Amino acid sequence: MHEAGARWARRSFSGASEAVARRLLGHRFVHVLEDGARVAGLIVEVEAYVGVEDRAAHSFGGRRTARNESMYAHPGTLYVYFTYGMHHCMNVVCGAAGEPVAVLVRALEPVEGLDRMRACRSGSLRRRPSEIRDRELCSGPGKVCQALGVDRSLDGLDLASSGQVFIERARRRPVPSGQIGVGPRIGIGNAGSPWTEAPLRFWIEGNPHVSR
DNA sequence: ATGACGATTTACT
DNA sequence: GTAAATCGTCATA
């Protein structure tokens, strides 16, 4: 086991969201497009959502609706939601089975299918694909989904068994704590203390593809 | 049925 | 730094 390129199995997704968030850093998120082409990037920035007690989480207070149903599925499930009337964001469900806990993927370092990413990203931009710099490709949760072609149609897929979306082992060891930046989550100003300030965002220190 | 609100991004002052 | 874009979702009625 543990070969490079091996797909993450179910148990890798189990555990507290903060731990899984850190564990995901440096590994490769892959989406196999309908024509078989791969678009993929190394996870460089994530946010942990703790669950029913977390005012910033969609599952706060045990909220369970058609939109966030995937959060209640087993660890390894992909939770994709639509927001601001124009953007998608994707999460990796973790925790224990039935526990609505997840990790938001905020940024990737693009490594495969950059041309396809540019084609997608240029759709809503007036720039030409060639003018989109590598750093603009996946440096934010909405950009990640746009570049990878992830939308609600992928919501609920199982990263541990789907041939369409999965995590590939891209390093033998976790990113050392000393190389992980930690800070408050972004865009949750109305959640209130302590959740607004909680240090639940993690990124690979110094990586240029982290959001700004 | 209605209204307020986003786990964002981009363009512009 | 500020504002616009844009619409599904959720709480209230």
Q: Which of A3-7, A20-24, A197-201 has the lowest mean pLDDT?
A: A3-7
The answer to whether A136 CB sits below 7 Å from nucleic acid chain B is: yes
Q: At what angle do helices A141-148 and A114-122 cross, to 10 degrees?
A: 110
Q: How far apart, in Å, are the Cα atoms of A72 and each of A41, A78, A92?
A: 26, 11, 12
**Predicted TM-score (pTM) of this structure:** 0.96
**pLDDT 10s digits, A115-153:** 999 999 986 556 888 889 999 999 999 999 999 999 999
Question: What is the rounded average pLDDT of the residues A164-172?
Answer: 97
**Chain B bases near protein Cβ (<7 Å):** 5-11
Q: CA–C1' span, A16 to B5, in Å? A: 29
From first CA to last CA, the distance across chain A in angstroms is 37
* Hits for CB < 7 Å against strand B across A residues 150-179: none
Q: How far apart, in Å, are the Cα atoms of A53 and each of A68, A191, A193?
A: 16, 11, 12
**pLDDT 10s digits, A67-101:** 999 999 999 999 999 999 999 999 999 999 999 99
